[in-house]
Amino acid sequence: MSMSEISKKMDFLDSKILKLLNNRMELVLMAKNTQSQVEETGREEEFLERIRKNSTGLINAEFIEKIYNEIIKESKDLQQKDLKLIAFQGEHGAYGEVAAREWQSDLIPVPCSEFAELFEGVQRGLYDYGIVPVENSLGGVVGQVNELLINTGLNVVGAVELPIHLCLLALPGTDHREIHTVYSHPQNLSQCRNFLARNKLEPVQYYDAAGAAKMLMEEAPKSSGVVASKLSAEIYNLEILKEDINDFERNITRFLVISREENREEGDKCSVIFSTEHKAGTLFSVLEVFARENINLTRIGSIPIELGSYAFFLDFVGSNKDDNVVKALGEVETITTSLKMIGCYKEHKV
């Protein structure tokens, strides 16, 4: 093994150690949100005993004890700080994390593998906020998220419209002519289909775009690249071979920020969920109310809640304190079987 190869492996391991420490600190903050302090002292001796038994001779227990004590100290210090967690779906580097950083840069983004896990974590208070995609200008609505919004009763406290800039990433020093296979989430691959075809790149579906970037960094499959975000390139030390490989220039995903708490600040956008009787003209009657009050509707969608019955999502411009909005919602309440304001918030456009 050459010195260059040794250095690369050391850099990889250093990066992995740092990421694992970061993951541990995320868990420390989650423990704080459950109003539990992480008690390390009982585990410390057990841990050191395992090290003594499994040591290869290169690492002595005294050295590990120094490191471990510093980790414990940092964990306790971290729990004393007023830090807020925001959960997103996917691995670090996902567009959900990009949107979270755009919404509030001082929040700590935490990855979740599934949307259901994210919603449950916000409900239980493990995370202060969650950020979820609700629609993409090319891919349409995210049905699972809408269903969870209905069933969990969480509040919408913010929204972010994020332009999606797909990038072709590879390991540092890779010649683009050597790449034959490209990994990413199916939606990302479909949104740069023409680029991949022009360059004779074989698309391979992966569970998550940022997860594909992580896999490329860890496993280094031959002749491979990934389609992911710029943030993924930064996090996983990958090289951006080509930016903006989208087939269509306008590719925007809208994210909603959810919380157990209601938004206490003035908003300029509202989201409501309502149901109507299953008969002709009922939905039109609701929409007619908003039209009479000159309220601009920006999104309407539906999802089945039981056989023959639907819940409708409606987003509109305005504040729940505006006279015409108050009047419209009062009238809508009389012609629907249920009506719930799930949030009045600021819409942030990147």
SS (H, E, C) 276-320: CCCCCCHHHHHHHHHHHCCCCEEEEEEEEEECCEEEEEEEEECCC
Give the pLDDT score at 228.
95
Q: What is the full DSSP assignment across 184-207?
A: E-HHHHHHTHHHHHHTTPEEEE-S
Do 136 and 257 lie in a common domain? yes
Task: Say how far residue 21 (Cα) sits from the centre of its chain.
Answer: 20
- Whether 273 is covered by a domain: the verdict is yes
CATH number at residue 221: 3.40.190.10
Nearest-angstrom CA–CA distance, 211 and 228: 9
Tell me, yes or no, whether 248 lies in a domain: no
Tell me what pLDDT residue 230 has.
Answer: 95
Together in a domain, 23 and 132: no
What residues in the chain have per-residue pLDDT under 70? 35-44, 47-48, 51-52, 54-57, 140-141, 143, 307-308
Contact 209, 232 (CB under 8 A): yes
Question: What pairs with residue 343 in β-bridges?
Answer: 271
The domain total for the chain is 3
Instruction: Look at the pTM and tell me if it is higher than 0.85.
Output: no
The confidence score (pLDDT) of residue 11 equals 78
Catalytic residues: 253, 255
Q: Which of residues 79, 111, 134 is at a domain's end? A: 79
Judging by DSSP bridges, how do beta strands 140-141 and 129-136 pair with one another? antiparallel
DSSP for 148-172 reads HHHHH-PEEEEEEEEE---EEEE-T
Residue type, 287: L
Which of 26, 59, 79 lies at the terminal end of a domain, its last residue? Answer: 79
Domain hosting residue 99, numbered range = 85-163+253-349
Q: Largest Cα–Cα distance of the chain, in whole Å?
A: 79
